[in-house]
Amino acid sequence: MRVIQLVVLGIGTGAFLLLATLGFALVRRVEGFLNIAHAELMSVAAFTTWYLNTELGWHFLLAGAVALALTGVLSLMIARLIYDPIKHLGPAILLITSVGVAFLLHGVTAAVVGVGIRSFTIPRLSAFTVGGVLITPYRLVLLGLAAVASIALALFLNKTRTGKSIRAMAINRDLAGSRGVDIDAASRATWFASGVLAGLGGIALGILGTLTTDIAFQQILVILAVAIVAGLGSLYGVIAAAFIVALAMDLSLLILPGGYRPVVAFAIVILVLLFRPEGVAGQKGRAAA
């Protein structure tokens, strides 16, 4: 029984992880580096929503929509001003720079928001049981949100012209450019989409529980785990990885104290990097090394 309960919990966690990782994985695939600042963008969205919703009394959905637009634009601006000019220095320098961006975003967010625990003003929905398994309605909402976001991203990448440009660019930037793909436009779309997805992840975080300014940094660790497990494969790899990591973390509660949940994610990172660096869905010899 406890196992089934934890699996249900894990599916909810997986939905959140998927939302949090989609944008990160997109940037990693297209722009070729690990953007540590992604989690801080989540935090910006969460606190913008909180401010508009709880402090100014806006409707939650409106507040959320404004926050998503804001993180989309912010993501685009950061990319243009900070990442693009140093692209030639390689993924390692970009990674370290993104740590600087994370510091910057974190410092500003925390200075503005201050200490304390915050939460959205949304209706309190009580949990119900199905066959003895406790189900939290908001976790179902997240699952729906994650499904919608994944399908929307899949349709965008597969059906639209910009989406196809992004995929072409992810495979071979120079070739795509020389074949007439508008690389700058595709790059802008990537950053904007990634920012909006980070925003969704941040709002999901606020729906799941309460917010503190330190919450984002704790998430980047797990996001990295999901992205590494997913490898540089497709969107489906990210979906699989989000649920694998989430289930592993939540099922670990059977044998380990709760404080070790992040450790489980990290143990997975280490194992994957050592034994299958291309990730669950990647092809051999493409990633790592």
Partner 1 sequence: MNWGQFAITVVTLVSIFGVVTLVLNMQYGQAGMINFGVVAYFAAGAYTYILLTQAPPSETSLDQYVIGLELPVWVGFIGAALAGLVFAAITGWPTLRLRGEYLALTTFAFAEVFHSFIVNEQRFANGTRGLVGVPRPYREQITFIDYDIALAIGALVFLVIVFVIFERIVQSPYGRSLEALRDDELALTTVGKRTSRFRLEVFLFTAPFAAMAGAFYVWFTTLAIPDLFTAEVTFIVWIALIVGGEASNRGALIGITLVVVFEELVRTIPFKTIRGAQIAAELEVAALGILLIVFLRWQPFAALTRATRRLVR
Would you tell me which residues interact with partner 1 (CB under 8 A)?
A: 33-34, 82, 85-86, 89-93, 95-97, 99-108, 110-111, 114-115, 217, 221, 224, 228, 257, 259-260, 262-263, 266-267, 269-270, 273-274, 277, 288-289
Q: 214: burial class by Cβ within 10 Å (0-12, 13-18, 19+)?
A: exposed
The dihedral built from the CA positions of residue 175, 185, 79 and 148, taken in this order, carries a sign that is: negative
**What is the nearest approach in angstroms of partner 1 to the Cβ of residue 186?**
23
**What is the nearest approach in angstroms of partner 1 to the Cβ of residue 68?**
23
Closest by Cα among 132, 138, 119 to 13: 138
Which is closer to partner 1, CB of 35 or CB of 49? 35
Which is closer to partner 1, CB of 159 or CB of 275? 275
Please work out, in degrees rounded to the nearest 5, the angle formed at the alpha carbon of residue 281 by the alpha carbons of 280 and 284: 90
**What is the nearest approach in angstroms of partner 1 to the Cβ of residue 82?**
6
Which is closer to partner 1, CB of 96 or CB of 152? 96
What's the rounded Cα separation, in Å, for the pair 45 and 27? 18
CB proximity list for 201: less than 8 A, separation 6 or greater:
16, 19, 20, 21, 22, 23, 42, 45, 219
**What is the nearest approach in angstroms of partner 1 to the Cβ of residue 226?**
12
HEC per residue, 31-42: HCCCCCCHHHHH
**What is the nearest approach in angstroms of partner 1 to the Cβ of residue 225?**
8
Region class of 116: left (phi > 0), else alpha (psi between -120 and 50), else beta: left
**What is the nearest approach in angstroms of partner 1 to the Cβ of residue 288?**
5
Specify the residue for token string 């034994």: 275
Token representation of residue 254: 């059977």
